[in-house]
Amino acid sequence: MALLITEDCINCDVCEPECPNNAITQGEEIYEINSDKCTECVGHYDTPQCQDVCPVDCIVVDPNHEETREELQKKYDSMYD
């Protein structure tokens, strides 16, 4: 599954630089995650780095983009082949 930043985001700027896939960008009001690029850090780290650093815990699993760990690994592999 890709991750999603909720409206609880305080725009603290700590998540964006932590994303190894450059999936996080500043949206009109809050940061946003591009589900096509988000692998939940599979291929890079054991845990999603953006979730680890978020001070308000506003980064959750996106229910609209369900993916298995294997699918996330394939996405990672296709981005870095």
Place of tokens 């809050």: 30
CATH of the domain at 66: 3.30.70.20
Q: What was the pLDDT predicted at 1?
A: 77
- Residue 57 is predicted with a pLDDT of 97
Question: Token pair of 56, please?
Answer: 């308000």
State how many domains the chain has.
1
pLDDT at 33: 98
Closest by CA to 43, choosing from 81, 9, 5, is 81
pLDDT along the chain (81 residues), means of 10: 95 98 97 97 97 98 94 95 82
Q: Please give the residue range of the domain that contains residue 37.
A: 3-79
